[in-house]
Amino acid sequence: MSDGTAAVWHVYILRCVDSTLYTGVTTRLAERVATHNAGRGAKYTRSRLPVELVYAERVGDRGEALSREAQIKRLPAAEKRRLVAG
């Protein structure tokens, strides 16, 4: 970032209109969700609009975000639902 502060990375899960879950990473969470809902996000979500943010966690850096995203994507569906439920 140009002001000298480090970017805050988030791992997030969206619930699509068909009840499937999509996991991603970003530094601008609200903007990214809006991008998905505008049909300009991931190919997966474009045909499953609207999407709803159902889970987000802050992580330290891009590498950690990508690792956590991969970890979540490997979880069985039931485990993802438990994560989202809190």
2 in any annotated domain: no
1 in any annotated domain: no
Evaluate the omega torsion of the peptide bond into residue 50 and state whether it is cis, within 30 degrees of 0.
yes
At residue 2, the pLDDT reads 54
How many CB atoms lie under 10 A from the CB of residue 31? 10
- Please report which confidence band the pLDDT of residue 1 belongs to, taking 50, 70 and 90 as the band edges: very low
Report the distance separating Cα 21 and Cα 75, nearest Å.
12
Q: Tens digits of per-residue pLDDT, 10-69?
A: 999 999 999 999 999 999 999 999 999 999 999 999 999 999 999 999 999 999 999 999
CATH code at position 24 = 3.40.1440.10
**Domain span holding position 59:** 9-85
- Please report which confidence band the pLDDT of residue 4 belongs to, taking 50, 70 and 90 as the band edges: low
4 in any annotated domain: no
